[in-house]
Structure 1
Amino acid sequence: MSNIPIEDYGLLSDRHSAALVGRTGAVDWLCFPRFDSPAVFAALLDDRAGTWSIRPVGPFEVRRRYLDGTMVLRTEFHTPSGVLALTDALDTGRCTQVHRLGAEAAHLLIRHVHATEGSVELAVEFRPRPEYGLVRPQFTEHEGGLFARGGADLLALSTPLAHRRDEEGMSARAALRAGEELSFGLHWGPLGGAPPGLHGAGELRRRLRDTVESWRAWSREHEGYRGPWQDLVRHSGRVLQALSYQPTGAIVAAVTTSLPEEPGGTRNWDYRYSWVRDAAFSMDALWVAACPDEADEFFAFMKDAAATSWTGSRLQIMYGIGGEHDLSERELAHLGGWRGSRPVRVGNGAWRQPQLDVYGELLDTAARFAEQLDAADPALRLFLPGLADAAAGAWDTEDHGIWEIRGEPRHFLYSKLMCWVALDRALALADRLDAGERIGDWERARERVRAEILERGWNEEVGAFTQSFGSSALDASALMLPITGFLPATDPRVLRTLDAVAEGLTDSRGLVARYRTGPGVDGLAGAEGSFLLCTFWLAQAQALAGRVAAARETFSRAAGHRNDLGLLAEQVDPRSGLLGGNFPQAFSHIGLVNAAWAIARAEDTARSA
């Protein structure tokens, strides 16, 4: 069982895979060669499941940051005798006009230590446990390091230190004086493939420099947002880029599995897949934060991944990052879970759920990136109109909604709203997609959806739009009514809904819950924390309504829960204020970007009035 707070971790990414590094210099989560691969280090979920630690011997204080414009992490350990700087990165390869960021990733974790003041005694502990801790690899010595073999993974550890080795792994100590440096590398290779290499200090330092410059080159070319909280927005853009899978254009919801919505609870899910909703929202946020040029990659992924599932049936709500359809869920009974939160799950059973909102999210993103899309692409001209046809044909059926309720399907307001968005955006794209003959059908369907939402989504007794037709339950997703443009933010019904959410779903910290959990509400036991995305939605809707001061306050409360590296999890425990849920969470960074942008535009409007 692991007890380390989620906010203690920093993210590394090469746009293929990810690592989480704790404040004490321990890599407690690493998946090679993909985000969804079995973890090599999984101490995040169980102390016995593998780690790689580099830290001073004895007491120390920590200061850390990302190097400017990068996702390269620098941790400074301040000890009574000196200061040690640890720089960690997943090697992205060079980013050039030919090769996009991560295109030449080598599946190599680089760790560089440098004594900057005084002298520091260093301790290194290397205990890989492939396949989520199931495999205890065999170790063999080679000049310049050692190899670990076991299961489907071959690991090469480059180390300059003399070390002790046993069946658990490798450990070493060294004393460094000011100016002295050491470089380490962990290189992954597949069983039966090209073996991973051992790298000398010069090669590792060159690769580290290339990675720093590659991230900075991407950041220089993607500085789209200027306005309030500019540094936070641009950093969130880098985080979203770090959550994207370069080979296909997929975007993961988070890099972890089974970090719980409630400590010790059972609401523990695997988020290392590409939800249509989350990925589309990520592209929209990148449009604000970073002016991305990856829209073509994203839509190529979506139309190819969905090519056999959307025609004549429903679009899946998520896919594997390589386009896989079957994401069957299973439990890892050998892992104790973060703070005893079990079961630990891999895969996600929600892939089978019908969720009607996905059509709207994809078409909304397509409309935003219309100029970047190849309108002459026959597959795209078939795919996008097909999404609108699917929304027109299915909007009046029940589904499981945006929050993936694991109970009975219902007529969720948000699902109907996004079917309206699908039809509205398809109409805007019709000429570009040469779909003029569909305009009449889409217009009629759009008006039917709109009428149903206005008649059945509004609850006069509650004084708000509610979670589902005929329900009295509040749901933060109703805040999307003004955000999508379905109704003006100044509409009296919208304003009353904003007030109802602020009063009925907000905790003592000023953070917004998705909805109120309870017996029979969502088919799950236990509770959950307040949801950062929903809090940012409230700030965004308040800004659209002209309530700019309230929007700023709401934004600041949510953004104030980022960790010292600017990373946000999915939720916040309303009692302790600690982060909860998978981490870092794309949804939360999406919400931050969009809320900041809405506030900036509202302030510009107020100044020009």
Structure 2
Amino acid sequence: MQQLRISDYGYLSDARSGALVGIDGSVDWWCPPRFDGPSVFGRLLDPNGGHFRLAPVGAGDPGYRVERAYRPDTLVLRTVHHTPYGSVAVTDALAAEIGARAHDLGKNSPAVLIRVVEGLSGRVRMALDFAPRPEYGLLTPYLHEQPGGGVLAGAGPTVLVLRAGDLPLRAGRDRVTHEFEISAGQVVGMDVAFGQTYGTPPVRLDPVAALAETTRAWEAFRETHGYSGRYPELVRHSATVLAGLTYARSGAVIAAPTTSLPERIGGDRNYDYRYSWLRDFSLTMRALWVAACPDETSRLFAWVARSIGRVGDEPVPVLFGVEGERDVSEHHCHHVRGYLDSRPVRIGNDAWRQRQLDVPGEVMSAVWRLRDYLGGSFEEELREMVLGLTEQVASTWHLPDRGMWETREEERHYLSSKVSCWLAMDRAVGLADRLGDRADPRRWAGVRDEIRAAVLREGWNDRIGAFTGAFGSPELDASVLALPVAHFLPATDPRMRSTIAVVERELGTDNGLVRRWATDPAGFLLCSFWLVECLVMAGEPRRAEELFERVVGNANDVGLFSEQIDLTSGAQLGNTPQALSHIGLINAAWRLTEPESF
């Protein structure tokens, strides 16, 4: 089997779990019933990891071509296969609960993968290959034909039931294979329902009716959201992707639904992104504020406040599980080959143990943004969290940390972390009148000003003519583009203008992408969108618009972004779809619309 490119995958979501379906018709990744659960289809990371392929016989022969698109404002994916003998459409979705609408989408999803085949012209012979391999390929299930049709696959704690209407499915030793013909006007619905051996049994539903219901649920969700800025189709689609990266039960937004897709093919920077990062919090809040509605932002904030709990002396973790779990300890799946042999394959993410001083600033910035919704006097838990974060920053800002890129090397005094500490103290001063008698805005303002002075003194490099990635370092880091975005310095400040120019010259590329640092072999999409924002704020809207349109051209055929772009081949790299990339698009589009909006 030839490995598909990362960009060859479309994304399905039920706001509880995510699945990737390839342009070849194969579902190669699905982790029911939670984003961070074990996969039942994992061919994305190993040829023997399990899959469910549904495509014409002879796909890839001369005269064969594929086109695909999401139904508008949904994550319902329609793939049309054109063959010499006719055309057929396969529409895929993860089922919504019957009757779910708007913000109920995903809260009680039934964990069912829907696939509906529709004959469009001629007569096409289709091939089905169902080979589940639960627990990242560790288990090969027993297959049993069911009374009334369908095949049950059971292994360990997992049960899957494949149903395909009247098709006479037969259980093989370790897979189900079947061929059938479909003519113009015919429709065949099939589904794979997940259940637990000792718990909830698989749900039985009508796949055609469930597909229509799921489509309506997504459309109703988008109808509750408005956006009046530039590039509305791009922004609405990215907002829909963010909704599909949201764990509806808690409101947590995950970084991506995949693990261990490499930042460099054959490299070892392969991490599990199926968690929610506080590092990304204020950026996520900005994007949801622009393209969603206060309900999403309020739910996300409530999840963060509950997850953090009472702040003590220990650093607040940079990431949590989707229901607020702190311990997401990392281990390697040695039996999994990895995407194009990129190892290790990691489950869990040990970045939760790191000291990252930017975290409180992200949270405090979000509190500031939601202050009008949170009331003139904060409730006890919120007040205690804000006070705890503020005092933690006041006592620790001078320490080194791992920085926003979560390096696994030694700690350093990263500039972006210090700026985030400044942001935390600045927001605390502004919120002091809501924090009761223990608020100390005069002392906090003194700490804020001390941090600012340190950044301006230690972060600026005269020889390079730019702010660099860490105090005393000559190394450029594109994270300094966040300084104007955080309002630490205006983009028109001479030092910031010089920094933007140096970053664009030294870290920019011919195709408009920006690398995080000079040794990074790939363009990082978030940093590229930050440059767009900086150019707008520096008074160069035309250049910003031109750059924005070049960067968004790196989306795949269904408008999805991974984390990075290979500078030689243009291939997408890293976990996909990547929330930060879509967040960057939304925020840059709004900055182009309203330059002083944030």
TM over 0.5: yes
Spell out the pairing of 1:396-545 with structure 2 (5 A cutoff): 396-434=398-436, 437-517=439-519, 528-545=521-538
The alpha carbon displacement at 1:365 in A equals: 1.5
| Distance in 2 between residues matched to 1:147 and 1:195, nearest whole Å | 11
**Letter paired with 2:360:** Y
SS of the residue corresponding to residue 164 of structure 1 reads coil
SS of the residue corresponding to residue 40 of structure 2 reads strand
SS of the residue corresponding to residue 433 of structure 2 reads coil
Question: Which residue of 2 is the match for residue 520 of structure 1?
Answer: none
From 216, 221, 226, the counterpart of 2:224: 221
SS of the residue corresponding to residue 165 of structure 1 reads coil
- Per-residue CA shift, 1:239-265, capped at 9, x if unaligned? 111111111111110010111011111
The alpha carbon displacement at 1:93 in A equals: 1.7
| Distance in 1 between residues matched to 2:446 and 2:162, nearest whole Å | 63
| Distance in 2 between residues matched to 1:28 and 1:464, nearest whole Å | 45
Kindly indicate whether the alpha-carbon contact (under 8 Å) linking 1:569 and 1:580 is maintained by their aligned counterparts in 2: yes
| Distance in 2 between residues matched to 1:34 and 1:434, nearest whole Å | 39
Kindly indicate whether the alpha-carbon contact (under 8 Å) linking 2:163 and 2:190 is maintained by their aligned counterparts in 1: yes
Spell out the pairing of 1:23-34 with structure 2 (5 A cutoff): 23-34=23-34
The alpha carbon displacement at 1:436 in A equals: 7.0
Question: Which residue of 1 is the match for residue 88 of structure 2?
Answer: 84
Question: Which residue of 2 is the match for residue 209 of structure 1?
Answer: 212
The alpha carbon displacement at 1:299 in A equals: 2.1
User: Any gaps of 5 or more consecutive residues in structure 1?
Assistant: 518-526, 605-609
| Distance in 1 between residues matched to 2:143 and 2:281, nearest whole Å | 40
| Distance in 2 between residues matched to 1:95 and 1:314, nearest whole Å | 42
- Per-residue CA shift, 1:193-236, capped at 9, x if unaligned? 1211343xxx222221121111111111112x222211101111
| Distance in 2 between residues matched to 1:190 and 1:371, nearest whole Å | 44
Question: Which residue of 2 is the match for residue 128 of structure 1?
Answer: 132
Task: Report the TM-score, using the length of structure 2 for normalisation.
Answer: 0.96
Kindly indicate whether the alpha-carbon contact (under 8 Å) linking 1:548 and 1:603 is maintained by their aligned counterparts in 2: no
Question: Which residue of 1 is the match for residue 199 of structure 2?
Answer: 193
| Distance in 1 between residues matched to 2:430 and 2:99, nearest whole Å | 35
Query: Are 2:144 and 1:144 aligned?
Result: no
Rate the CA distance shift 1:41–1:246 in 2: closer, same or farther, 3 A. same
| Distance in 1 between residues matched to 2:308 and 2:258, nearest whole Å | 24
Kindly indicate whether the alpha-carbon contact (under 8 Å) linking 2:288 and 2:297 is maintained by their aligned counterparts in 1: no
Task: Report the TM-score, using the length of structure 1 for normalisation.
Answer: 0.94
| Distance in 1 between residues matched to 2:558 and 2:66, nearest whole Å | 12
The alpha carbon displacement at 1:357 in A equals: 0.4
- Per-residue CA shift, 1:166-204, capped at 9, x if unaligned? 1221011111111110111111112211211343xxx22
| Distance in 2 between residues matched to 1:410 and 1:95, nearest whole Å | 52
Rate the CA distance shift 1:2–1:409 in 2: closer, same or farther, 3 A. farther
Rate the CA distance shift 1:486–1:131 in 2: closer, same or farther, 3 A. same
Spell out the pairing of 1:34-433 with structure 2 (5 A cutoff): 34-58=34-58, 59=61, 60-94=64-98, 100-142=104-146, 143-160=148-165, 161-199=167-205, 203-223=206-226, 225-307=227-309, 310-373=311-374, 376-433=378-435
The alpha carbon displacement at 1:603 in A equals: 10
| Distance in 2 between residues matched to 1:94 and 1:162, nearest whole Å | 27
Question: Which residue of 1 is the match for residue 12 of structure 2?
Answer: 12
SS of the residue corresponding to residue 41 of structure 1 reads coil
- Per-residue CA shift, 1:466-514, capped at 9, x if unaligned? 1011011111111111111111110000000000000111123221111
Larger deviation, residues 128-137 vs 50-59: 50-59
| Distance in 2 between residues matched to 1:138 and 1:119, nearest whole Å | 34
Rate the CA distance shift 1:2–1:35 in 2: closer, same or farther, 3 A. farther
Rate the CA distance shift 1:280–1:36 in 2: closer, same or farther, 3 A. farther
Which aligned segments of 4 or more residues in structure 1 are displaced greater than 6 angstroms?
A: none
SS of the residue corresponding to residue 471 of structure 2 reads coil
| Distance in 1 between residues matched to 2:2 and 2:423, nearest whole Å | 43
Among the aligned pairs, what percent are the same residue? 45
Q: How many residues align?
A: 591
**Letter paired with 2:258:** T
Kindly indicate whether the alpha-carbon contact (under 8 Å) linking 2:151 and 2:170 is maintained by their aligned counterparts in 1: no
The alpha carbon displacement at 1:94 in A equals: 4.7
**Letter paired with 2:350:** G
| Distance in 1 between residues matched to 2:115 and 2:514, nearest whole Å | 39
- Per-residue CA shift, 1:358-417, capped at 9, x if unaligned? 111111112112233365432112112222221111111100000111111011100000
- Per-residue CA shift, 1:504-543, capped at 9, x if unaligned? 11123221111123xxxxxxxxx54110111111111111
Kindly indicate whether the alpha-carbon contact (under 8 Å) linking 1:2 and 1:45 is maintained by their aligned counterparts in 2: no
Spell out the pairing of 1:518-597 with structure 2 (5 A cutoff): 528-597=521-590
Rate the CA distance shift 1:94–1:195 in 2: closer, same or farther, 3 A. closer
Rate the CA distance shift 1:483–1:342 in 2: closer, same or farther, 3 A. same
SS of the residue corresponding to residue 265 of structure 2 reads coil
TM-align CA RMSD: 1.8
